[in-house]
Structure 1
Amino acid sequence: MRYRRLGRTGLQVAEIGFGGIPIQRISGEEAAAVINRALELGINFFDTARAYTDSEEKLGAVLRKRRGDVIIATKSMARTREKMAADIRRSLEVMGLEYIDLYQMHNVKDRESLQQVLGAGGALAALREAKKEGLVRHIGVTSHVKETLLDLMKVEDIETVQFPFNPVETNGVQEVLDLAGRTDTGVIVMKPLAGGGFRQAGLALRYILAHPVSVVIPGMDTVEQVEQNAAVGSGPLDLSPAEKKALEEEKAGLGATFCRRCEYCQPCPVGIDIPTVFLLDGYYRRYDLKGWAIQRYNAMKVKPGACKECGACEEKCPYNLPIRTMLKDAVSRLG
């Protein structure tokens, strides 16, 4: 496994890190096997969040036993000093840690939330205090919005930025990378496979790592995924003409309006598993697995027909997707 410097934090992180969203879907025992295999293969950067149900708990159960070998990042949607301080304490308690290497302000997506976290009594104030107390060693931010990232990188306390980047999501990325280089800000890439949209994961990861990023964090919930992704961290990064063509074909198949499975739209008030509907529709449309997709769709406990058109999912979507319209479109095939 190759390692890179995480900006001015000075931390040496594996090129391939571990995204902690998917382990919510598996048991504690299964999660432990996946995490331990990642450690065996040299992965040392693990990212989770307060919002990822039991992800912190599952990661902490394994990683606290290997504390000296790992770099642990988590994050909170808290916007005020009081709520962020409470979330930091809760993360430490749940994970069984004395300190967290990187604590991030989660999904700062607009001018209002930016001003709130940076203002008097905002979340950044709590992170500064936690850093002084030794509870947090470094401070970062995650966002899906280029303009917000550019503003945040001008704040001295913020040492890392985390944002989506993959072969189909490139808008504004170069500008962010250029400023990160000038400010020596660590770059963490999330959604590298566009929420599972890219089936040839190795090609997409190699494409990203050819850029000046610090670490890429695909979500993983099987040992096989860990092994496949970790192999990229020790293999060649240059893509052959044939591989570039294959990546372009996958990119064209995805289009622009698609679900990245970030799961920010969840929970649905009536219980619709929105990301799974779109995942199954993707298998139906892009991978010619129509029968399998329909069978899985029919087994869902709550189908999109139960939608009350409340729009809560669209308000929470960082990509501003027309989710209600997309659900109806998916049902026209799967239903």
Structure 2
Amino acid sequence: MKLKEVKFIMEKRILGKTDFQVSVVGFGGIPAQRLNEEQVLELLTEAYDQGMNFIDTARGYMASEELIGYALEKLGRDKFYLATKSMDKTYKGIIEEFNQSLSFLGTSYIDLYQFHNIKTFKEYDQIMSDYGAYKAVKELKEQGKIKEIGITSHSKEVLDMAIDTGLFNTIQYPYNAVETQGEELFKKAKANNIGVIVMKPLAGGAIGKGEIAIRYILDNPNVSVVIPGMDSISQVLQNARAGIDRRAMTEVEKERLAKEASTLGAEFCRRCGYCLPCPQEIDIPSNFLMEGYYTRYNLQDWAKERYGAMSPKASDCIECGICETKCPYDLPIRKMLKDVVEVFN
């Protein structure tokens, strides 16, 4: 697929201590796993044409790396800064994961390699131990296979400590109109010249006003790049517009976004997918999504029809609780699935 000459001017920001001049809106790679090769190629072609030059994926995102690798082979590896990550915490394990990433992505190097979803200080200590993952990643960097090292977490405390070490050039953390607890963390990162990558900009799809939600995030000068997941051309265009048309939010837009955010509270699914797979094969995030359509977006008939077609669904939960041990937000998933059943029964 032939690339057009980039005609849109998207704002760029320097990613911390790196020399990467990244588009303020990047391509989040989680939803790519639901698509095929040609669809991902089409999305990344449009993303580039809209001025995006940063891709974030992960070894744990199923087929995402392989699909993105196919697209990069067609478009040219040099068109994007490429970030991926691994949840492995051991020296040997992360080298194996890294080599898999290189193979799937069809590249000889990774621009930004991140330790993925470090939940606790114990996990952090594990990657920093004598036989831990950091030693391996540092060696790969010395070999030129990795340009920069970053860390992602849903724990503000872990990232606060990681900033103090000076060992990471980027952090990745959730931030949106509902979850603003990272603002002081971002300020500290900027003061230490550490790049800030924002995940969950739409609170896992719970916030429907995409362009406004991203503009809200980009109004924070401490944010380097926001990485909304995208699985359609319309999403690419909407998300890119937030980085191209950098006008200030109006009071009306702020009120609309605040009103939507206020309906969510703290107990809502961000659709990160870490709870999966469910032993009963329930698509847990999709059940919560249908409930949201029913209760928040006045789509009762549409949501009820689609929930009814799910098999298995929330009513098939046996309350084993495995999902709750994997949720980075410590959500009471079993209770929330019961609430879904109540809504649709």
Q: TM-score range by the shorter chain?
A: over 0.9
Q: Is the 8 A contact 2:317 2:337 kept in 1?
A: no
Q: What's the CA shift for 1:181?
A: 1.5
Q: Is the 8 A contact 2:315 2:337 kept in 1?
A: no
Q: What's the CA shift for 1:305?
A: 2.4
Q: What's the CA shift for 1:254?
A: 1.3
Matches within 5 A, 1:77-156: 77-156=87-166
Residue by residue over 1:167-204, the C-alpha shift from the partner in whole angstroms, topping out at 9 and shown as x without a partner, is 10012x12211210221001000000001111111111
**Corresponding residue to 1:215 among 206, 222, 225:** 225
Q: Are residues 1:61 and 2:70 paired?
A: yes
Distance in 1 between residues matched to 2:247 and 2:129, nearest whole Å: 42
Distance in 1 between residues matched to 2:69 and 2:167, nearest whole Å: 26
**Corresponding residue to 2:334 among 312, 324, 334:** 324
Q: What's the CA shift for 1:112?
A: 1.2
Quick one: percent identity of the two aligned structures?
Answer: 48
**Corresponding residue to 1:181 among 167, 182, 190:** 190
Distance in 2 between residues matched to 1:28 and 1:67, nearest whole Å: 16
Q: State the match for 1:159 in structure 2.
A: 169
More deviation, 30-39/160-169 = 30-39
Letter in 1 for 2:183: Q
Distance in 2 between residues matched to 1:224 and 1:77, nearest whole Å: 31
Q: Are residues 1:240 and 2:261 paired?
A: no
Distance in 2 between residues matched to 1:204 and 1:156, nearest whole Å: 31
Q: State the match for 1:71 in structure 2.
A: 81
* Aligned partner of residue 7 in structure 1, secondary structure: coil
Letter in 1 for 2:72: L
Q: What's the CA shift for 1:155?
A: 2.5
Q: State the match for 2:278 in structure 1.
A: 268
Q: Is the 8 A contact 1:77 1:107 kept in 2?
A: yes
Q: Are residues 1:200 and 2:180 paired?
A: no
Letter in 2 for 1:310: C
Q: State the match for 2:6 in structure 1.
A: none
**Corresponding residue to 1:10 among 16, 19, 23:** 19
Structure 1 residues 87 and 334: alpha-carbon distance in aligned structure 2, compared to 1, 3 A threshold: same
Distance in 1 between residues matched to 2:77 and 2:34, nearest whole Å: 24
Q: What's the CA shift for 1:267?
A: 0.7
Q: What's the CA shift for 1:9?
A: 1.0
Distance in 2 between residues matched to 1:202 and 1:102, nearest whole Å: 26
Distance in 1 between residues matched to 2:202 and 2:194, nearest whole Å: 23
Q: Is the 8 A contact 2:154 2:329 kept in 1?
A: yes
Distance in 1 between residues matched to 2:56 and 2:152, nearest whole Å: 11
* Aligned partner of residue 270 in structure 2, secondary structure: coil
Q: Is the 8 A contact 1:209 1:237 kept in 2?
A: no
Q: TM-score, normalised by structure 2?
A: 0.95
Q: Are residues 1:48 and 2:82 paired?
A: no
Q: What's the CA shift for 1:115?
A: 0.8
Q: What's the CA shift for 1:34?
A: 1.0
Q: What's the CA shift for 1:237?
A: 3.9
Residue by residue over 1:34-87, the C-alpha shift from the partner in whole angstroms, topping out at 9 and shown as x without a partner, is 111101111110000011000001111112442112100000000111101111
Residue by residue over 1:177-235, the C-alpha shift from the partner in whole angstroms, topping out at 9 and shown as x without a partner, is 12102210010000000011111111111111011210000000000100111011111
Q: State the match for 1:249 in structure 2.
A: 259
Number of residue equivalences: 334
Q: Is the 8 A contact 1:207 1:237 kept in 2?
A: no
Q: State the match for 1:29 in structure 2.
A: 38
Letter in 1 for 2:201: P
Q: What's the CA shift for 1:301?
A: 2.0
Q: What's the CA shift for 1:156?
A: 2.6
Q: What's the CA shift for 1:163?
A: 0.5
Distance in 2 between residues matched to 1:114 and 1:130, nearest whole Å: 19
Q: What's the CA shift for 1:306?
A: 2.2
Query: In angstroms, what is the RMSD of aligned CA positions?
Result: 1.0
Distance in 1 between residues matched to 2:308 and 2:105, nearest whole Å: 37
Segments of 4+ in structure 1 off by > 3 A? Answer: none
More deviation, 178-187/218-227 = 178-187
**Corresponding residue to 2:313 among 303, 311, 328:** 303
Distance in 2 between residues matched to 1:75 and 1:103, nearest whole Å: 5
